[in-house]
A and B are shown apart, each in its own frame.
Chain A
Amino acid sequence: GENVEQHPSTLSVQEGDSAVIKCTYSDSASNYFPWYKQELGKRPQLIIDIRSNVGEKKDQRIAVTLNKTAKHFSLHITETQPEDSAVYFCAASTSGGGADGLTFGKGTHLIIQP
């Protein structure tokens, strides 16, 4: 089955700097890669996703890049702010329909230092 590795497990950056979280996946058939953000004590929420036919996607201060050849994808957050502090999960899916094919990484705890 699919295996998703996520690094680092904890990332501390100064407010205003950029943060990058990286994930690798094992199944070359995976074609959908979402990122979820979970603030302390709250539910995970989808913040951005990318499909395998696209190399990069941006939404304001966040962006995701995908390298299908190397089987890795990354989340980039620019101009970090205190509200970016959270745990971020990447995932990869080989399913063509539902979310049951999603395999999640173990999460990255992003800490924004004032």
Chain B
Amino acid sequence: SQTIHQWPATLVQPVGSPLSLECTVEGTSNPNLYWYRQAAGRGLQLLFYSVGIGQISSEVPQNLSASRPQDRQFILSSKKLLLSDSGFYLCAWGLGEKLFFGSGTQLSVL
């Protein structure tokens, strides 16, 4: 069966520091992969999605970037974090229109 791993679970970073969140999927090949941000009272916002290695689509212009160096690996990055980057970040893989989420990373930028 398919599983999705996301780490770290929590992260506290100072403003201006870099960021790297990693997500890996097991049990499926060439999955569609997604990064979402969840802010309090604001639902789930799609940040990036990828349909294959090296293919990244950005939904919202911002301080973040994504990369897919391997088929089942999806990375969310930032060169310099802003206070507004704080939030709960969720990786997901898609089976058609259905999403299967990772356990999330709570990021606090101080």
In the complex with contacts A98-B32, A100-B57, A104-B43, A46-B49 CB distance below 8 A:
no
* Shortest CB distance B63–A (Å): 21
Report the bound CA distance from A33 to B56 in whole Å.
Answer: 25
Whether B42 lies near A99 (C-beta < 8 A) is no
List 27 A-B residue pairs with CB atoms under 8 Å apart, sorted by A's residue number: A9-B41, A32-B97, A34-B97, A42-B103, A43-B104, A44-B44, A46-B100, A49-B97, A49-B98, A91-B44, A95-B97, A98-B32, A98-B49, A98-B94, A99-B94, A99-B96, A99-B97, A99-B99, A100-B57, A100-B59, A102-B97, A104-B43, A104-B45, A106-B41, A106-B43, A107-B41, A107-B43
Whether B96 lies near A45 (C-beta < 8 A) is no
Decide if the interface of chain B is mainly helix, strand, loop or mixed: strand
Chain A residues near B96: list those with CB within 8 A.
97-99
Q: Which of A6, A34, A106 has a CB less than 8 Å from the CB of B98? A: A34
- 10 A-B pairs closest in CB distance: A43-B101, A99-B94, A106-B43, A104-B44, A104-B43, A100-B49, A98-B32, A99-B99, A32-B97, A99-B97
Whether B101 lies near A45 (C-beta < 8 A) is yes
Report the bound CA distance from A93 to B57 in whole Å.
Answer: 17
Q: Which partner residue on chain B sits nearest A44 by CB separation?
A: B101
Chain B residues near A104: list those with CB within 8 A.
43-45
Chain A residues near B57: list those with CB within 8 A.
100
Q: Which of A34, A44, A97 has a CB less than 8 Å from the CB of B90? A: A44
Report the bound CA distance from A17 to B46 in whole Å.
Answer: 34
Report the bound CA distance from A89 to B51 in whole Å.
Answer: 24
Whether B43 lies near A89 (C-beta < 8 A) is yes
Q: Which partner residue on chain B sits nearest A101 by CB separation?
A: B97
- Name the interface residues of B28-73: CB closer than 8 Å to any CB of A: 32, 34, 41-46, 49, 51, 57, 59
Q: Which of A36, A43, A46, A97 has a CB less than 8 Å from the CB of B102? A: A43
